Chains A and B, each alone.
Chain A
């Protein structure tokens, strides 16, 4: 089990350091996202996948940037909303499997955002400040 759990961040970090500069578009680790995303199976609505990105991004910023502790209640509510939507109508093993998939998905996205931010920390945190300053949308930091 520990080998499985370690494989994911290792893969994300490998993708981050191994991707050639030409494969990056801005700070986006294109190769990492290409590797992580798959069309073989799926169930999230577009807005739910966007929300996975938003949740993972907030968690990554909280880890890399000073002064951005997560708002625990808000991030939990956002996460639970995505999970509730994606697991609607499921039960037993199917419910557990999808729940597990979602946790892995959020972890994978967070790992890639951590890699993107680690490679460009000053701009990553400056853009987080812009996100926080934008009054149109509430963020999920305290």
Chain B
């Protein structure tokens, strides 16, 4: 299990899909892709959120220079990229 997951990340996680599923699960993969694959894993955490599109873009700033996006459960540097440690601090 561990070696499989590690190999998946190192080689490209997408390739792991073919390792982790039987041939008969292709339709499930296709369904997940069609539905919004990350959303298939997003979880009950979002179930209580209002389902309005504009809220997906909502963000807040826990500190100067940092923006956090609840919908993604991720924080970013203002004007920059993903803020790993702020993400862990706020959502971890």
Contacts and interface: CB of A to CB of B under 8 A. Distances in A.
Interface SS, A side: helix
Given A38-B39, A43-B41, A104-B37, A26 B15 contact: no
Given A7-B33, A28-B81, A57-B82, A49 B28 contact: no
Given A25-B59, A42-B45, A43-B41, A53 B76 contact: no
A104 B25 contact: no
Interface SS, B side: helix
30 contacts: A1-B23, A4-B26, A8-B37, A25-B59, A26-B81, A27-B77, A28-B69, A33-B71, A38-B36, A40-B40, A44-B44, A47-B91, A49-B72, A51-B92, A59-B9, A70-B10, A97-B28, A101-B37, A101-B40, A103-B20, A106-B9, A107-B12, A108-B38, A110-B9, A110-B13, A117-B81, A120-B80, A127-B83, A134-B85, A137-B85
A127 B66 CA distance: 12
Interface in A41-87: 41-59, 62, 70, 72-73, 75-77, 79-80, 83, 86
A67 to B, nearest CB: 16
A109 B38 contact: yes
A5 B15 contact: yes
A4 B79 CA distance: 34
**Chain B interface size, under 10 / 10 to 19 / 20 to 34 / 35 or more:** 35 or more
Contacts of B72: 33, 37, 49, 53
A100 B21 contact: yes
A123 interface: yes
Interface string A88-117: 000001001111111111111111010011
